[in-house]
Amino acid sequence: MISVKELTKRYAHTTAVDHISFEVAKGQIVGFLGPNGAGKTTTMRILTCFLPPSAGTAKVAGFDVLEQPLEVKKRIGYLPETPPIYPEMETADYLKFVGKLKGLKGADLQKRVDYVCDRCAVADVRKKLLGKLSKGYRQRVGLAQAIIHNPDVLILDEPTAGLDPKQINDTRDLIKDLAGDHTIILSTHILPEVEQTCEQVIIINRGKLVATDSVSNLQARARGAESVVIEVAGRNGSLEVPMVEHKLQQVVGVSRVLLKQHVDSRALFEVESQKGRLVRGDLARAVVASGWDLNELRPAAMSLEEIFLQLTGNESPASTPAKELPQ
Amino acid sequence: MRNVWTICRKELGSYFVSPVAYLLLTMFGLIFGFFFWNALAVFVIEGMEMQMRGQTFPMNINEQIIRPLLQNVSVIGLFFIPMITMRLFAEEKRTGTIELLATSPVRDLEIIVGKWLAAVVLYSCLLLFTALNFAFLFKYGNPDWKPLVVGYLGLLLQAGALLAIGTFISTLTKNQIIAGAATFGVCLLLWVLGWVGGYESATWAQVLSYMSVVTHYESFGRGVLDSKDAVYYLTVILLGLFFTARSMESLRWRS
């Protein structure tokens, strides 16, 4: 449905998007992940024909964004970072206006307005001025305008930014709900959001594509070698940690032992093994044979957070200097 | 065409749900009403003096009231036009709604013409106020209506030209005040340029004088439809809208 090849966008002094390529199949929800200033918004703006690319091509439903922008725009619903609403308009009038812009008319238009009001739970504010609505309602009105013409592709730029936890959940549910009918790209810098809503992730950092894969594959791939969390406790109130570390290290197949936590006579380790070797049984036997208690032994699942940090070069997303895109 | 109308309707809605339109209408109505009352008073007093002196110098409503008043409107308009156009694009750029318009299946030109048309319609509403005053002249006198119609046509053309310039300036900034002030400056300049022609006959002065929007109104004010002046206004309208389109396009490339 969406095909991006070697897409590049240069501004006067910076390259916001640097040779990015990816494909999105019909009906998928794709998470567009990256720290602030990574180039998410720029890429989305190119896909929606708001900005022209400097190089490379982007196609939506087979239409090139530069050559047939009108055809692309007909098939895209777009929710920018701040919902594009006119504060002096009423909700229903606004949705009608957007519907007309997108080419709807007559009875069809009225039907779609009613439908999206219902779907996005804004029916109770139909007659209210948009400027008077709360942030959560504005966001939902923004979503409503994006789907008013039943587009093939939905592009949502940080749809949950600035909402409270309940509203975030509602919005995520709504997005998942919409997935059946539309291909969705949503951008975010919140990782759990991707884990919860998306099937596929595209990670970009500083304008470059870092990874693109399904959520589960990505977790498996980043993990590489198997890694196990193990908690060991001494029998009579004391535990010699270096000794335990040494014993664990000696188990065949173990490549690295990391002490995570040490409280009194209990110690928590993370043990990495070489690829393809299952060491859990041997680890358990080694601990018990040395006279210690084995309190816990489980495989360490890598969260997207860690994958993200690993892939973007161990740089916390929060500490990356927020670089706003020039307007 | 349908899109132009959709945009135009939305713009008019914005003018009329906010105080902008009513404020402009009230101020324009007051100011023009004062001009009208003045012109009428002078006309009546002069008429009485003529009669007392027993002169038969012909009094002409068209020449003595309508023509100078139309000329006045053409200048008062210069002060109102910036207030009409300053928000057109600047506001959309500030709030980000320009992204909605630019990502809808609508051509740039349709957006521009729709907005410009809404501005012209609002200006026509201002002119309606003057028509109310002129209606009294028809009730109590019998002026010739043809020069008045030509005069109105000229006012619309002149306003169309300045509104096109204002629309263009509004695309250059996201600050309404800047857009308004710059448009006002340009309007004023295009008025006073005409003064040069009054004392200087060199070519450069003639060119400057030719550029003045108010100079070109004189023929319309007299009730003469001069194609040269109509062409001038139409050219400025087209140029203004053309530059607006280019500016919108460059907005995308630079942003």
Q: Is A236 on the interface with B (CB under 8 A)?
A: no
Q: Is B13 on the interface with A (CB under 8 A)?
A: yes
> Residue B7: its chain A contacts at CB < 8 A?
101
Q: Is B209 on the interface with A (CB under 8 A)?
A: no
CB contact under 8 A, A145 and B93: no
CB contact under 8 A, B102 and A49: yes
CB contact under 8 A, B106 and A101: yes
Nearest to A78 among B18, B103, B107 (CB): B103
Nearest to B105 among A51, A81, A102 (CB): A102
Q: How many angstroms away from the CA of B166 is the closest CA of chain A?
A: 21
A82-122 pLDDT, tens per residue? 899 999 999 999 999 999 999 998 899 999 999 999 988 89
CB contact under 8 A, B99 and A80: yes
Mean per-residue pLDDT over chain B, rounded = 91
Residues 94-113 of A with CB under 8 A from B: 97-98, 100-103, 105
CB contact under 8 A, A102 and B103: no
**Residue percentage of chain A with pLDDT more than 70:** 88
pLDDT of amino acid A303: 61
Label each residue of chain A as H, E or C.
Answer: CEEEEEEEEECCCCEEEEEEEEEECCCCEEEEECCCCCCHHHHHHHHCCCCCCCEEEEEECCEECCCCHHHHHHCEEEECCCCCCCCCCEHHHHHHHHHHHCCCCHHHHHHHHHHHHHHCCCHHHCCCEHHHCCHHHHHHHHHHHHHCCCCCEEEEECCCCCCCHHHHHHHHHHHHHHCCCCEEEEEECCHHHHHHHCCEEEEEECCEEEEEEEHHHHHHHHHCCCEEEEEEECCCCCCCHHHHHHHHHHCCCEEEEEEEEEECCEEEEEEEECCCCCCHHHHHHHHHHCCCEEEEEEECCCCHHHHHHHHCCCCCCCCCCCCCCCC
Q: Is A52 on the interface with B (CB under 8 A)?
A: yes
A252-268 pLDDT, tens per residue? 888 888 888 888 888 88
Confidence of residue B126 (pLDDT cuts 50, 70, 90): very high
Q: How many angstroms away from the CA of A136 is the closest CA of chain B?
A: 17
ipTM of the complex: 0.88
Q: Is A80 on the interface with B (CB under 8 A)?
A: yes
- String of b and e for B129-140 (b: at least 16 CB within 10 Å)? bbeebbeebeee
pLDDT of amino acid A325: 43
CB contact under 8 A, A102 and B102: no
Amino acid letter, residue A293: D
CB contact under 8 A, B105 and A82: no
**Shortest CA distance from A74: residue in chain B:** B105
B240 or A200, which is more confident: B240
Are the C-beta atoms of residues B226 and B219 closer than 8 Å to each other? yes
pLDDT of amino acid A275: 67
CB contact under 8 A, A84 and B99: yes
pLDDT of amino acid A318: 42
pLDDT of amino acid A326: 44
pLDDT of amino acid B255: 56
Look up the pTM and report it: 0.82
CB contact under 8 A, B253 and A82: no
> Residue A130: its chain B contacts at CB < 8 A?
none
**Three-state SS at B103:** coil
CB contact under 8 A, A80 and B96: yes
Q: How many residues comprise chain B?
A: 255
A123-138 pLDDT, tens per residue? 999 999 999 998 889 9
**Residue percentage of chain A with pLDDT more than 90:** 31
Nearest to A101 among B6, B13, B18 (CB): B6
Q: Is B58 on the interface with A (CB under 8 A)?
A: no
B34-81 pLDDT, tens per residue? 999 999 999 989 888 888 888 766 778 888 888 999 999 999 999 999
Enumerate domains of chain A plus CATH numbers. 2-221 (3.40.50.300), 224-301 (3.30.70.3190)
A126 or A218, which is more confident: A126
Report whether pLDDT(A221) > 90: no
Nearest to A70 among B95, B101, B105 (CB): B105
What is the rounded average pLDDT of the residues B8-17?
94
What residues have CB less than 8 Å from B4, skipping those under 6 apart?
B110, B113, B114, B117
B189-223 pLDDT, tens per residue? 998 888 887 788 888 888 888 888 888 988 898 88
What is the rounded average pLDDT of the residues A238-251?
84
Residues 81-110 of B with CB under 8 A from A: 93, 95-107
pLDDT of amino acid A193: 77
Report whether pLDDT(A296) > 60: yes
Phi-psi region of A28 (alpha: psi -120 to 50; beta: other; left: phi over 0): beta
Q: How many angstroms away from the CA of B97 is the closest CA of chain A?
A: 4
